[in-house]
Structure 1
Amino acid sequence: MTTTATDAVPAYEDVKAARERVHGVVRPVPVLETDRGSFGTARVFLALDFTQSTGSFKDRGAANFTAAHLTAGTMPAAGVVIASGGNAGLACAWAAQRNAIPATVFLPTTAPAVKVAKLRTYGADVRQVGAEYAEAAAAAARFAADTGALASHAYDDPYIAAGAGTLLGEIHAQVPGLDTVIVAVGGGGLFTGTAVAAHALGVRVVAVEPENCRALNAAIEAGEVVDVEVDSVAADSLGARRVSRAALHWARRTGARSVLVTDDAIRAARQLLWDHRHLAVEHAAATALAALTSGAYTPGDGERVAVVLCGANTDPSDLVTT
């Protein structure tokens, strides 16, 4: 691997290596085109990566992380530990179960019940600590130090980010002439992997965050990683207090466009996906589409745009049937 566990910045060679590791383990992403004319003359495609085994793109990074450490002989008998808002923990537990590895997952007490219940089906030791991801992360770090378990990370790990980066190649193969990919950003794992692949494939990246969960946007503005307040309907998936340094690095290198959307816009985009496609997605997934539906990002004439719908571990009871 080009990077190591102490390096924060994966390269395209890492994404290509991840593609070999996860082939046949993760599911190829389905890509659907929206109705022509919905966004002017632009052609917009939905990448449904919530169809992975655990309901989110996180399977890609977890499968790569686990396979890489097993191959290297660096997976301890104590197994793996991770802190998560839910989806990364699900993917970690899934990948561990596939390989008969113990998994301990720390979640904030605010994690959606649907994710907590699903986690237990993968045989994980589930522990809920604190009201925010950062508090769960601190508890996971203490657990790793005490037990010798291998610490995974929800987003700030080169194997995790490189695994996430395998998604764009699959989209690119299905959308010839792809110009732009739109992704929601929390801590930056999906963004980093996507930006690495996009740079190699000549695709621009639009990074979308809720107005009150703007870790990447604030880092770009400040010129360095900074802490931000976390308060959004999408905070369970996008509620990182700070973005990874790798995400900031690749945002600068690619000149990624960073946009913000309101919670109302996120709710509206999520409802739109239900009304028009019967897709029940997480608010985090709807955040990416909200960039288009709210006008935060307006594609040019004939632009080919892929919107990543990253997760669907949600309770659909609040979606209104019309």
Structure 2
Amino acid sequence: MTVTRDDIQLAARRIAGRVRRTPVLRVSPTLTFKLELLQHVGSFKPRGAFNRLLAAKEQGTLTGQGIVTASGGNAGLAGAYAARELGVPARIFVPVNAPAAKVARLRTLDADVVQVGNEYAEAYEAAAAEAAESGALLLHAYDQPEVLAGQGTIGLELLEDLEFDKALVAVGGGGLIGGIATALGDRARVVGIEPELAPTLARALDAGEPVDVQVGGLAADSLGARRLGALAFSAVEANGVSSVLVSEESIVAARNELWREFQLAVEHGAAVTYAALRSGVYQPAPDERVVAVICGANTDLSTIS
């Protein structure tokens, strides 16, 4: 199964009024930030969550059993928020090492939080088993057509708001980059930016298919999927997406600079796009117009300097 631009346009109509149209920040004549960290609950994830839940509601499969999802944090926050807005319960499975700030925030959204396993894959197995047993709707963090289509609405907004040549997009499981790449098509190129310690896209491109990788490092709470999603892989292959890896040190430095220079408090996973530019591992061509998607704000502010 693949996701098309028509699916993304349908998603945009479906979630209109449920999510924020996030602003852009012109940093220089050739660099713009897309401030998706200003989305509801501090990340881009509500776009896909609302699209999945509203599509299920249209089909009659969103019932009083509500939803079940697994997440290192942001997808759980999005699922809990969308479920609360639509008046259904949410049970969120998170790894035991999920950031305390994200777990606490989940509980403020009336979610039932279950901590299990040490990484996303283990939490997902528990969530899938719970959904099968209870009849609740399973919301995948990234590898469902409605989820990827919802994230792709960011690409539609970019095309309406800017003229640009490249979009730099963080990669974990791939819902964000798959959606944006599909939305942009041949109108602009997309480069995936991922931590050296969580190279799901790079390894998938090398292998010609999604493969399991070891994940770790500072950004693993938001970019900690063990493998790229199948839908995302189809999208990046079809749209010529490449991968650039950034070091832990460059992520920390970029995150601190985003705060000092732009007053943007971001999580480590959201700093990777700026890290690629700041460190020089991605060097724009002369006069190349670049958009860096800044995708999440759920972080411990005491760790920013």
Q: Deviations over 1:169-227 (max 9, x none)?
A: 1122221x211111000000001100101115x11001011011011110100111110
Aligned residue for 2:57?
A: 70
Unaligned ranges ≥5, structure 1: 1-6, 37-42
> Residue 29 of structure 1 contacts residue 171 of structure 1 at CA under 8 Å; is this kept in 2?
no
Aligned residue for 2:102?
A: 115
Aligned match for 1:59, one of 46, 56, 73: 46
Aligned residue for 1:28?
A: 21
> Residue 119 of structure 1 contacts residue 126 of structure 1 at CA under 8 Å; is this kept in 2?
yes
Q: Counterparts of 1:1-322 in structure 2 under 5 Å?
A: 7=1, 9-36=2-29, 43-175=30-162, 177-199=163-185, 202-320=187-305
Whole-Å Cα distance in 2 between the matches of residues 28 and 218 of structure 1?
33
Whole-Å Cα distance in 1 between the matches of residues 256 and 8 of structure 2?
33
Q: What is the count of residue pairs matched by the alignment?
A: 305
Whole-Å Cα distance in 2 between the matches of residues 223 and 257 of structure 1?
13
TM-score, normalised by the number of residues in structure 2: 0.98
Q: Secondary structure at the match of 1:255?
A: coil
Which amino acid counterpart does residue 77 of structure 1 have in structure 2? G
Whole-Å Cα distance in 1 between the matches of residues 55 and 160 of structure 2?
25
Q: Secondary structure at the match of 1:274?
A: helix
RMSD: 1.0
Which amino acid counterpart does residue 260 of structure 2 have in structure 1? D
> Residue 159 of structure 2 contacts residue 184 of structure 2 at CA under 8 Å; is this kept in 1?
no
TM-score, normalised by the number of residues in structure 1: 0.93
Whole-Å Cα distance in 1 between the matches of residues 134 and 230 of structure 2?
28
Which amino acid counterpart does residue 21 of structure 1 have in structure 2? R
Which amino acid counterpart does residue 285 of structure 2 have in structure 1? G
Whole-Å Cα distance in 2 between the matches of residues 243 and 318 of structure 1?
28
> Residue 225 of structure 1 contacts residue 248 of structure 1 at CA under 8 Å; is this kept in 2?
yes
> Residue 10 of structure 1 contacts residue 161 of structure 1 at CA under 8 Å; is this kept in 2?
yes
Q: Secondary structure at the match of 2:202?
A: helix
**Deviation beyond 4 Å, 4+ runs, structure 1:** none
Which amino acid counterpart does residue 181 of structure 1 have in structure 2? A
Whole-Å Cα distance in 2 between the matches of residues 284 and 57 of structure 1?
12
Whole-Å Cα distance in 2 between the matches of residues 169 and 134 of structure 1?
30
Whole-Å Cα distance in 2 between the matches of residues 301 and 173 of structure 1?
24
Whole-Å Cα distance in 1 between the matches of residues 47 and 242 of structure 2?
24
